[in-house]
Structure 1
Amino acid sequence: MAKKISFIVLSNSGTTVKQIAAPVVLLVALSLVAVCGTVLIGMFLYDYLALKQSVVGSQKLAQTIDDQRGEIGQQRLQIQSFAHEINLLKEKLVQLDQFEEKIRVIANLEPSRSGDNLFGVGGAAPEDLDPQLEITQRHEGLMRAMHQQMGELGAASQRQEGSFSSLLEKLEGQRNLLASTPAIRPTSGWMTSSFGQRVSPFTGRKEFHKGVDIANRNGTAILATANGVVAFAGEKGTMGNVLVIDHGHGMITRYAHLSEFLKKQGAKVKRGDIIAQMGNSGRSTGPHLHYEVHLNGVPINPAQYILN
């Protein structure tokens, strides 16, 4: 006979109301069911939490992937923008090179490179990069081409820098030459005698007139016609008071019949500086300037050097 366990049910007043007897096996079975249910519920909750955590992790991973895709898209857009900038830079370098050659032609200078060009011996400008790629395409080929062209542009910019330095040096030399070349009227007034053969107002005979005569009032300002150094300022025979400027490059100018010197020997002058005043010193028929230009010791017609 199966064992039973009795349970006494008490009332609120403590008196016995009922006594219940249950088999031990049933109680054990109920306990096992309760334990198994608890375990199953625990396993379910664990799996649920794990699944929930996995879903959250998947969502974060998906968001990270989307963020990385966005960054990759931005990087590829930047690569395309850099490729466009490289094309523009290359175009500017070619334009600068062409501009330099025009300057050299205008200034009558030799070409910047003999048998060579901006991108090396016999080398033409690299073809333009093609940045018009789909964002989803891989850009390794474009990046390799960009890297190669940046190297070529770096070398070309160094050649251009050297070429511009050479051009600047030559133009500086020409500027000094031009600044030292007579180019303006030495004074205001009227041209009374030109360069070349003429009849002397004193002897009545033909003689070679080495300069030009410009007449005006006594004291009219005399200007230096180019940059130079006063080589002589003093009296010289029939020419009266004479001032001579050495402009370098074999060029000198001479100003005669002056009334007053405003620059001393050894003074540096620039084109347009007032160096003296017109006068009537020496053998002269009236206030005027006798003006001469000499190149390598040979008198040259000053009219060729009056551009204003």
Structure 2
Amino acid sequence: MNFFVKLRELRKEYFTFVVIPHSGKGTRQFKFNKVMLYAILGISTIICFTLVVLVISLANTNYALHTSLDNVYQLEQLSNQQKQEIDDLKNRTSTINQKLTALGELEEKVRSMVGLKMPAQTASPTTTSRSFDRSAYGTDADELIAEDSDANLEVLAAEMDNKIDNFSDLITDVDDQLKVLEARPDLVPTNGKVTSKFGYRTSPFTRKRQFHQGIDIANDKGTPIYAAGTGIVTFSGWNAGYGKTVIISHGNGYRSVYAHNNENLVEAGKKVKKGDIIAKMGSTGKSTGPHLHFEVHSKGEQINPENILIRK
């Protein structure tokens, strides 16, 4: 009640403002009701306070927005960097895979050239590895790709180790196989014409059917005779009807015989390489003219030399 009583009393009260010019003439007075003036002042204060609060709020919002934009820009930069790193990793992984494939093909080709079989292979873990295709992963693509890249690198590292082991074994195998191939008596031992083949023929001496145990290659006296394969000379001398003869042991069950020579150029116990000159063609022993009688024995049995000779 007192409040309303005071309010009614204030409505009857006024503030008077007097405006006096320097000349002292034309003085003006302005009267304001106290209630109205207090109301205007109160509303103005509230409006000013509200404006100050809004300005502060806008300033904070603007600062937060700029901070967020900076963070978004940094995250975008980081995302682009990670994307580039992942793409680079993908490319390196793909390149390593291609090189591993090429190494596998090279290994197979080398083994094929020297007659070696490929070793038993276990299933490659890369066949179960996930693809690098981003569309297959969903929301956490980069993280999954990174995990997949790590898995691929581990698989590739294991395959590289396996390839290193395989090539170490391959070097040993090829070296052994090359020694076998080098020792194999498959080089044509002299130049000339094959005048008598391996097998049954009519003997030029008895005119009877007789088994010919090698091949005859005829040419001029003194024509060089070459070792058909690498080995050790086990005999060099006169051998009855064979005349001057050289016999070479090549290992792996092979032995070659060179007969009717005019001159032997190697002694027993000497190691000779495929293609070395070991004798000169002649017609010693039981012979009808200058030629080389050439035999090949494999594991104690005489075989047709033409079945293994490689003619260039």
Does the TM-score normalized on the shorter chain lie above 0.5? yes
Give the direction of change, closer, same or farther, for the CA distance of 1:118–1:185 in structure 2 (3 Å limit). same
Partner of 2:260: 257
State the 1:100 CA deviation: 4.0
Does the CA contact (< 8 Å) of 1:253 and 1:294 recur in 2?
A: yes
- Aligned counterparts of 1:190 and 1:97: Cα–Cα separation in 2: 44
Partner of 1:112: 119
Give the direction of change, closer, same or farther, for the CA distance of 1:125–1:90 in structure 2 (3 Å limit). farther
Give the direction of change, closer, same or farther, for the CA distance of 1:156–1:125 in structure 2 (3 Å limit). farther
Normalized per residue, the structure richer in helix is 2
Query: Residue 97 of structure 1: which of 100, 104, 109 is its match?
Result: 104
Question: CA deviation digits over 1:61-114, x for unaligned, max 9?
Answer: x99996886566335312321122213323432454355456656766554225
TM-score by length of 1: 0.68
Partner of 1:154: 157
Does the CA contact (< 8 Å) of 2:130 and 2:148 recur in 1?
A: no
Query: Residue 86 of structure 1: which of 90, 93, 102 is its match?
Result: 93
Partner of 1:124: 127
Number of aligned pairs?
245
State the 1:182 CA deviation: 2.0
* Identity value in percent: 35
Does the CA contact (< 8 Å) of 2:234 and 2:268 recur in 1?
A: yes
Give the direction of change, closer, same or farther, for the CA distance of 1:220–1:113 in structure 2 (3 Å limit). same
Does the CA contact (< 8 Å) of 1:126 and 1:149 recur in 2?
A: yes
Question: CA deviation digits over 1:226-258, x for unaligned, max 9?
Answer: 111211111111111100111110101100111
Does the CA contact (< 8 Å) of 2:197 and 2:214 recur in 1?
A: yes
Aligned AA for 1:117?
A: A
Partner of 2:42: none
Secondary structure in 2 matching 1:127: coil
Aligned AA for 1:78?
A: E
Aligned AA for 2:229?
A: A
Question: CA deviation digits over 1:178-230, x for unaligned, max 9?
Answer: 22222232111222222112222222332221111111111110011111121
1:223 aligns with 2:229: no
1:232 aligns with 2:235: yes
1:206 aligns with 2:209: yes
- Aligned counterparts of 1:244 and 1:179: Cα–Cα separation in 2: 17
Aligned AA for 1:88?
A: T
Secondary structure in 2 matching 1:124: helix
Q: Higher mean Cα deviation, 163-172 or 190-199?
A: 163-172
Secondary structure in 2 matching 1:290: strand
Query: Residue 180 of structure 2: which of 158, 162, 177 is its match?
Result: 177
Question: CA deviation digits over 1:114-152, x for unaligned, max 9?
Answer: 5x2233xxx72523323689xxx9833322221122112
Partner of 1:281: 284
- Aligned counterparts of 1:185 and 1:300: Cα–Cα separation in 2: 15
Does the CA contact (< 8 Å) of 1:223 and 1:272 recur in 2?
A: yes
1:74 aligns with 2:77: no
Secondary structure in 1 matching 2:233: strand
Partner of 2:21: none
TM-score by length of 2: 0.67
Secondary structure in 1 matching 2:120: coil
CA RMSD of aligned residues (A): 3.3
- Aligned counterparts of 2:86 and 2:256: Cα–Cα separation in 1: 64
Aligned AA for 1:82?
A: L
- Aligned counterparts of 1:170 and 1:151: Cα–Cα separation in 2: 28
State the 1:177 CA deviation: 2.0
Does the CA contact (< 8 Å) of 2:111 and 2:174 recur in 1?
A: no
